[in-house]
């Protein structure tokens, strides 16, 4: 079977997007998904996105990690929205799309896409004293995907992302369901820099949208924070996270904002 695909990137987080809209339904098993995402034998990507019809919203996004598992992906969702609108699959802007964690509102302004992050859990403080001494003030937050995040002292410590990421991701606490691991440093009251180890990829990615959201909200929860926007610097580019914060620390109207760009398109035989 030969299928057409589109290659996208959002701050270096790269995805294969496939149109499965209006009668173009595809049935891809795990082995086919893994093949398409393979950087040696397929197109190569941090994930696969199927754009499908939705009975309740403008479209549905099915996201698959390179190992075939499913989750929500913030940067992937931004790319999916950009593709759906620029390909005229949908015409309304803003739009609402359906994902594994529920419905998300989205806006497109040229190459910048803003999506509502609809699944925000509670920030949990984690005792990381038994883990790397490079980490301090560790937290857990689910933003559509589960994230462990810890402040580190400097960029040198952030270079340990693979070592620390694997240690935490495959620890007893997270081995079964997996977790994404983020290391971050403060760049100012309203800015952070971060690096991410992603489950499913089982390695570092240049950016992670749900991770950027988690780290931004964790940073915004610190006592000295003021404002409603956090600037997030990733290895692949810059993102922003905006939100409303209540007096009791709950976050609402959380949006992930950043660029999305089509790189090329082609066909692959699977």
Active-site amino acid positions: 73, 208
Distance in angstroms (rounded) separating the CA atoms of residues 140 and 85: 34
Name the phi and psi angles at 244, rounded to 5. -110, 140
Distance in angstroms (rounded) separating the CA atoms of residues 120 and 24: 33
Residues 6+ away with beta carbon under 8 Å from 250 = none
Other Cβ atoms less than 10 A from the Cβ of 73: the count is 29
Name the phi and psi angles at 85, rounded to 5. -80, -45
Paired residues of 15 in beta bridges = 8
Task: Identify whether the C-beta of residue 141 lies closer than 8 Å to the C-beta of residue 123.
Answer: yes
Dihedral of the CA atoms 71, 74, 110, 6 (nearest 10)?
-30
Residues 6+ away with beta carbon under 8 Å from 171 = none
State how beta strands 180-188 and 146-152 pair: parallel
Residues 6+ away with beta carbon under 8 Å from 24 = none
Record the tokens describing residue 112, joined without a space. 């910048």
Paired residues of 234 in beta bridges = 237
């Amino acid at each position: 079977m030969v299928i057409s695909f589109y290659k996208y990137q959002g701050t270096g987080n790269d995805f294969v997007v496939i149109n499965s809209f209006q009668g173009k339904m595809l049935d891809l098993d795990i082995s086919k998904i893994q093949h398409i995402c393979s950087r040696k034998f397929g197109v190569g990507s941090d994930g696969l996105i199927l754009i499908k019809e939705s009975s309740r919203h403008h479209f549905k996004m099915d996201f698959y990690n390179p190992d075939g598992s499913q989750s929500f992906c913030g940067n992937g969702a931004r790319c999916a929205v950009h593709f759906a609108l620029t390909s005229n699959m949908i015409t309304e802007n803003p739009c609402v799309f359906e994902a594994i964690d529920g419905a998300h509102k989205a806006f497109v302004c040229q190459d910048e896409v803003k999506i509502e992050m609809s699944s925000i859990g509670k920030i949990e403080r984690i005792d990381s004293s038994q883990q790397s001494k490079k980490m301090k003030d560790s937290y857990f937050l689910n933003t559509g995907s589960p994230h462990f995040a810890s402040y580190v002292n400097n960029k040198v410590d952030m270079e340990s992302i693979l070592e620390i990421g694997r240690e935490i991701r495959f620890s007893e606490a997270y081995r079964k369901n997996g977790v994404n691991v983020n290391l971050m440093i403060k760049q100012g009251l309203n800015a952070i820099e971060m690096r991410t180890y992603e489950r499913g990829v089982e390695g570092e990615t240049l950016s992670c949208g749900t991770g950027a959201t988690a780290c931004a909200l964790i940073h915004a929860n610190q006592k000295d924070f003021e404002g409603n926007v956090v600037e997030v610097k990733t290895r692949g580019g810059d993102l922003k996270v905006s939100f409303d914060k209540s007096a009791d620390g709950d976050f609402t109207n959380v949006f992930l904002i950043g660029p999305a760009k089509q790189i090329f398109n082609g066909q692959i035989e699977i």
